[in-house]
Structure 1
Amino acid sequence: MVKNIELCFDPALSYNADGKHVRDGLSTVLRTGNDLWLSCDERTTIERLTQTEAGHFEQHASFCLTDYLELPDKNNSEVDIEGMAQTEHYLWLIGSHSLKRKKPKHAGDAADQIKRLSKVKTDPNRFLLARVPIIQNKQTGRFELHKEHPHPNDAGHTLRAAKLQGNQSSSLLTDALKHDEHIGPFLSIPGKDNGFDIEGLAMQGNRIFIGLRGPVLRGWAIILEIEVEENERGELTLKQLTKKRPYKKHFLHLRGKGIRELRILDDDMYLLAGPTMDLDGAIYIYRWLDALKGAHEEKLVYHSELERLHEVPHGHGDESGKDKAEGLAIYDNETLLVVFDSPTDARKLGEHTVTANLVKVAG
């Protein structure tokens, strides 16, 4: 069963410097209590909406990440946030870590447009894995971000914003993956070319799961698992998880699809899976039952071991390239919420509202 729910944005907060509305580029979503946290590409902010008695999400607030974190390129380039998670009074977020190839333009000399296709660049802020203290305001009930804040349950401990060590072209994560036999060769390839491209983040305790839209290897998608620790300078570093590596790899046969988002409920993992590269095609929600039970070894999960729950609508025909499901949130114990990049006109209501989908997966 699928229902629509309205997300209503404030026009004063919704446009980036190029005039793109936040509702046109939603890439990830997370629910904390009555608040909904969303990110949009081409900016360095995250957005908060709050649910009203009518059931819609509105009361838009915007939080600039440079108020909490030292970004390599400050506000000059996008973070391309592709995943958010919450655990232990921290909001965690991750950038795509991907390279991008220039697009040819419709008009202009063919030779010039072919040359554009040879140019690969990155945004310096994309190599971000960070945490920011998130605390519920007892008076308003809303969750708020802080650069630092006393721990609500431990008077002797202070929560502080921090990020994984990195720079404008890499992070400790990509440095560790350079020599990986599966992923290393794809780090220099743009995300839309089946290169390295992060599009999902989920956590359970200290375990951090990172979903990859690419590379997809002979139909197998990849989830990375890491843990981090804080050094004496307040920076995050990677813990050693195996004898050789500070990460684990889990391979899931999604029949050629990459991962668009990850979510955890109890011991199950929910996956939003769709086409990799710059392709259109069916997008599905899968459930990996008991994914977090048992030993924490690397896993190879065949398609028959995954439960396909729902096909998410996507644009086709004249609307090809629209309604691309990008974000997945746990709405309640029986329902998931899906948000879309490049929504169709039918999904837009008025000038500043867009509908998301509520998908019942249990009960």
Structure 2
Amino acid sequence: EKHMQPGQLLGRLLLQFDSNAADVPEDLSAAVHGPDGKLWVAADEAGMIERLTPAEPRIYGQHKRFHVGDFIGAVDKDAEIDIEALDAHSGYLWLVGSHSAKRKKPKGQAIEKDLERLATVEHAPQRFVFARIPFVNGELAAELKTDGSKKGSRVAARVKPAEKEGRGKAAQAGGKAKKGNGGEVLPGENLLMELLRRDPHFGPFLARPPGKGTGVLAIPSKDNGLDIEGLVVADTDRVFLGLRGPVLRGYAALLDMRLKDVGNGHLEPRLGKKGSRFAKHFLHLDGLGIRELCVQGKDLLVLAGPTLPVEAPIRLFRVRNFLDLEGDSVIDTKKGVLEPLFDIPQAGALDHAEGVANFNYFDESDSVLVVYDDPAPQRRYGPCGVFADVFRLTS
């Protein structure tokens, strides 16, 4: 275990939410700046995206809330999408859910009940969302007509539902196939899950649970199962997804794909040169998984933290010239390639850094903005304010 210096805290930003104190999204898991300087954040469980505008120095206010279900079909408005990452690129706001399953926690009551809870893995179809929503002037829209442009309109789209041999129609109709494990499409399954299930590295972690039921994943995220937590879009259609789990032999995975619009509000990964629909980059992040990604110039910043619920550092790394990555790769820590930068302080079991965004504090891209899940009480300011931190980045 390398001991790293904590990052240098330049200051705090006050995120001022609406006047309903009970409704303040404290557990923030993602943050990104739009091209107009507005800040978009998402909370851990809700299917909502919050927009904040720089109001005064170091204060973001004028809070506006958007329900993802209003823009993307087949998402229940009240669903817990578990949005783990956001990015803004070429007129779209991108978002990804965790694609994970969840094991119930023991409650310290009757032993039989606790054992039963520990054997229960919950599957939430709404977590399997990976989508982009057009936006302009800080407003989201299901469709944006482009005046006089040859490209036509920009439309909200999501990675399409999974398809199974002989069951393609049911799959395309939203994946509402029968319950069970006999090769049917289960609710919420999307094409990305299907591709990962066929992959030699990830397939074993995406095995379906034995027996009947609607469970899609046998292994929950907190048991080193699948958990997507990072997202970066570059080059219009090139998308990087960071996995918090599974971590393989201490290596965290970065999926690298190009998404094409196939109509009907659907996206799918393009076929690459070697017949694969995504490339895999395995990063040695001191055994940690990926919590969030953001771009800084030509580099990729990777926020890393433990996959399992254990006490471990939350550490920021830099992947140099990440757009030069080609094919699959295994990348060890090395100066000029993959560099650890600093640790982000935690308040005991609280203050888990989950979201990171490029930030200009004194100078362009001289720092990162960090938002937290499980915030310490000191993160609250007044009834509706939550503090985010800004840490210095040196080149």
TM-score of the superposition, structure 2-length normalised? 0.83
Q: Which amino acid in the other structure matches residue 12 of structure 1?
A: N
CA distance in 1, matches of 2:93, 2:329: 27
Could you tell me which of 310, 315, 319 is aligned with 2:342? Answer: 310
Aligned mates of 1:77, 1:161 — CA distance in 2: 18
Conserved in 2, the CA contact under 8 Å of 1:214 and 1:276? Answer: yes
CA deviations over 1:76-121 (Å, ceiling 9, x no partner): 4211001111111011110000011111113x21111111110111
- d(CA) in 1 for partners of 2:289 and 2:52? 28
Q: For 1:198-246, what per-residue CA distance to the aligned partner results, in whole angstroms no more than 9, with x for missing partners?
A: 0000011121000000011111000001111122423112211243321
Q: Report the secondary structure of 2:322's partner residue.
A: coil
Match status 1:157 vs 2:188:
no
- Tell me which residue corresponds to 2:367: 335
1:7 paired with 2:15, answer yes
Deviation at 1:266, TM superposition (A): 2.5
Partners of 2:151 and 2:392 in 1: CA distance? 42
Aligned partners of 1:274 and 1:221: how far apart in 2? 10
Shift of the 243–63 alpha-carbon distance from structure 1 to 2, 3 Å rule, reads same
Quick one: which of 29, 33, 55 aligns to 2:58?
55
Q: Which amino acid aligns with 2:228?
A: I
Residue 256 of structure 1, aligned match among 287, 290, 306: 287
- CA offsets, 1:34-90, max 9 Å, x none? 211010122111001111132211111000111111134x12421100111111101
For residues 56 and 109 of structure 1, do their structure 2 counterparts lie closer, same or farther at Cα, with a shift above 3 Å needed?
same
State the Cα deviation string for residues 148-199 of structure 1 (Å, max 9, x = none): 1123682651011111112433110010111211111112310000101000
How far did residue 14 of structure 1 move? 6.1
For 1:54, the aligned partner's letter is P
**Amino acid paired to 1:327:** G
Structure 1 residues 338, 308: CA separation in 2 closer, same or farther (over 3 Å shift)?
same
Tell me by how many angstroms 1:8 deviates.
Answer: 1.0
1:91 corresponds in structure 2 to 93
Structure 1 range deviating more: 253-262 or 3-12: 3-12
Q: Which of 144, 153, 173 is matched with 2:139 structurally?
A: 144
Given residue 378 of structure 2, which amino acid in structure 1 is its aligned partner? A
Which blocks of at least 5 consecutive residues in structure 1 are unaligned? 16-20, 137-142
User: Per the alignment, in what secondary structure is the counterpart of residue 378 of structure 2?
Assistant: helix
Structure 2: runs of 5+ lacking an equivalent: 1-7, 162-174, 176-186, 207-216
- CA separation of 1:165/1:59 partners in 2, compared to 1, >3 Å: closer, same or farther? same
Residues 271-323 of structure 1: CA distance to partner in whole angstroms, max 9, x if unpaired?
00011122222111111111213x6222211023422222101122xxx2x10
- Name the amino acid aligned to 1:301: I
Choose from 216, 226, 229 the match for 2:260.
229
Paired position in structure 2 for 1:299: 329
* Alignment-derived partner of residue 31 in structure 1: 33
Match of 1:131 in 2: 132
Aligned-partner SS, 1:192: helix
Aligned to 1:140: none
1:248-272 Cα shifts (integer Å, max 9, x gaps)? 1000001210000011122200000
Structure 1 segments of 4 or more deviating over 4 A? none
**Which of 269, 279, 291 is the aligned partner of 2:300?**
269
Kindly tell me: are residues 152 and 356 of structure 1, through their superposed partners in 2, closer, same or farther at Cα, counting changes over 3 Å? farther
The aligned residue for residue 210 of structure 2 is none
Letter in 2 for 1:184: G
Contact 1:44–1:65 at 8 Å: present in 2 too?
Answer: yes
CA distances 1:9-37 after superposition (whole Å, capped 9, x unpaired):
1133862xxxxx412x1010001132110
Q: Which residue is 1:213 aligned to?
A: 244
User: 1:195–1:215: 8 Å Cα contact kept in structure 2?
Assistant: yes
Contact 1:242 1:248 in 2 (8 A): no
Q: For residue 326 of structure 1, what is the aligned residue in structure 2?
A: 354
The answer to whether the Cα contact below 8 Å between 1:102 and 1:119 also exists between their aligned partners in 2 is yes
Between the aligned partners of 2:244 and 2:148, the Cα distance in structure 1 is 37
Give 1:98-109 correspondences, 5 Å limit. Answer: 98-106=100-108, 108-109=109-110
Give the 3 Å change call, closer, same or farther, for CA 104–267 of structure 1 in structure 2.
same
